[in-house]
Amino acid sequence: MQLFVFSLWIIVSLKVIKDSVFRMDMAVWNKTFFEAFAYYNPLFMMAMMVWLWGVNVQVFLRSRVNYAKVFDLDHNHLTHWEIWKIASWMTVLVLTSLTAYLYLESYGERKLAASQPVIVYCLLPLLLALPVNALFASSRFYFLSTIVRMIFPFQPISFADFFVADVLTSMSKVLSDVERVFCRIYYHQVTGVPEDDANLMCGNHSYWIPCILAFPYLCRFFQCLRQFSDTGDKSCLLNALKYTTTFPVIVLSALKYHMSDVLVWEATYRPLWLLCCVINTCYSFYWDVTRDWDLGLLTGNCKTKKSALRSSMLYNQRWVYFWAISSNLLLRCSWTFKLSAHLRHNRLTVFTFSGLEMLRRFQWIFFRVESEYNKMITSSSAVEIPLTEVVEEKERLFASDHDT
């Protein structure tokens, strides 16, 4: 029944959007499209990540990867059906706000239209931090506490802490877009302001853009230092070095908007920026395969076909691992569009590459969690995880499926 209601509401919303677009002339639509894309693209990207996380959880269950043990979750943790329910509500809420925004704009009600992004951007954080025992309260508070620990790494780093930070690095472009939205809200530029005027205060020249892009990487950098302080493992320093290779890419890209002589940037800084992109991409790809996924393909120690991956593989098909390695390399090459402020002019292109980066991270999650779970069950110091826990989890989710 819920699926039917959601589907019907989406169809009605799309019909209203279509009618609203045809009601506008071309000049009004071009301006409205710029604003609607800026306000609602980050929200749809966030909803997309929640949908994909639900798929991750479903695959973990079917492959007997005990993700709850990896993340140290209690028995009340969300099932994939509950995650998809949250994603559905997010999608409907954002689509409804977008529909109202375009509908009001098509009739010239700019003040009412301007209120729509403000409402949705205030409502979502309030729902996330709502201090009541409802709306999956334990999971909301767990996520918020993980975010706080990520920002302030004053305690030993858990798997969930650096996992969330890693996911946010793939959403750095989304975070910078959210900052642009709040800038426009703060300066009352939500609607009715020409694009050129809006850019004077909240445009591509803002120093906040590179700062927000770099923020998730800075969090991971300090997490790595904290891990080295706690464990003395020198690989943590190498991991920290990997994140520092991101900062030159961001800074050199932002320089283009603050240089009077464009030829100097083209002749000197652009080649340097490209070099930094290559270093960052190669380093990150190598780390993904050999450290995060614990696959031996790039280590040079592959004596047999089986050792090219690893001895314990919880996903049944070997080709899946080789596909993940090759596609990860290709998707890493889109890294520059996510990190580079001077490539933000073509919105559809940036939208495409931001989505591809999120798909790369979605794929990365499967093998990162699998690798961590393998370490837990093979380590001599870890407590053996009985298979009955996985079976019980399946039975609980199966029952939840029938109750939904």
Question: Which of 71-80, 114-123, 242-251, 334-343 has the lowest average pLDDT?
Answer: 334-343
Residue 149 clears pLDDT 50, i.e. is over it: yes
User: What pLDDT is attached to residue 174?
Assistant: 92
Q: Which residue has the higher pLDDT, 31 or 282?
A: 282
Q: Output the pLDDT for position 99.
A: 96
Which DSSP state fits 305? Answer: T
Name the pLDDT band for 162 (thresholds 50, 70, 90).
Answer: very high
Torsion of CA 111, 112, 114, 116, to 10 degrees: 170
In angstroms, the CA 185 to CA 361 distance is 30
**pLDDT average, residue stretch 116-122:** 93
Q: Mean pLDDT lowest for which of 70-84, 155-169, 370-384?
A: 370-384
The predicted model gives 373-382 an average pLDDT of: 72
pLDDT in tens, 187-208: 777 765 545 444 556 776 778 8
> Residue 189: what are its φ and ψ, rounded to 5°?
-115, 25
CA 1, CA 212: separation in Å to the nearest integer? 41
CA distance 88 to 400: 17
Residue 395 has pLDDT above 70, yes or no: no
Name the helix (H) or strand (E) containing 217.
helix 208-231
* Position with higher pLDDT, 356 vs 262: 356
Model confidence at 312: pLDDT above 80:
no
pLDDT at 400 over 80: no
Total number of domains in the chain: 1
pLDDT number for residue 298: 59
CA-to-CA separations, 294 to 101, 322, 370, in angstroms, rounded: 47, 13, 10
Q: Which domain holds residue 362?
A: 2-403
Instruction: Determine the pLDDT at residue 31.
Output: 83
- Residue 123 has what pLDDT? 93
Q: Mapped to the 3 state alphabet, what secondary structure does 72-130 carry? A: CCCCCCCCHHHHHHHHHHHHHHHHHHHHHHHHHHHCCCHHHHHHHHHHHHHHHHHHHCC
The owner of tokens 């990207």 is 45
Query: Both tokens of residue 335?
Result: 């890294």
Q: Write out pLDDT tens, residues 40-60.
A: 999 999 999 999 999 999 999
Residue among 210, 242, 221 at smallest CA distance from 339: 210
For 310-319, 340-349, 374-383, 394-403, which range has the lowest pLDDT when averaged over its residues? 394-403
More confident residue, 22 or 253: 22
Two structure tokens written together for 231: 């464990």
Taking the CA atoms of 222, 224, 226 and 229 in sequence, report the sign of the dihedral they define: negative
Comparing 29-43, 233-247, 377-391, the range with the smallest average pLDDT is: 377-391
> Computed from CA positions of residues 291, 148, 95, 137, in that sequence, does the dihedral angle turn out positive or negative?
positive
Q: Cα separations (Å) of 162 from 122, 157, 317, 335, 367?
A: 27, 7, 28, 20, 15
Neighbours of 223 (CB within 10 A): 22
What band does 209 get if pLDDT is binned at 50, 70 and 90? confident
Percent residues over pLDDT 70 in the chain? 84
The torsion angles phi and psi of 306, rounded to 5 degrees, stand at: -70, -40
Q: What is the DSSP string of 28-77?
A: HHHHHHHHHHHHHHHHHHHHHHHHHHHHHHHHHHHTT--HHHHTT--TTP
Query: Does 18 score more than 90 pLDDT?
Result: yes
Question: In the prediction, which pLDDT does 7 show?
Answer: 87
- The pLDDT, as a whole number, for residue 336 is 61
pLDDT tens digits along 121-132: 999 999 999 988
Tell whether the model's pLDDT for residue 134 goes beyond 80: yes
Which residues lie below 8 Å from residue 209, measured CB to CB, with a gap of 6+?
176, 179, 180, 254, 341
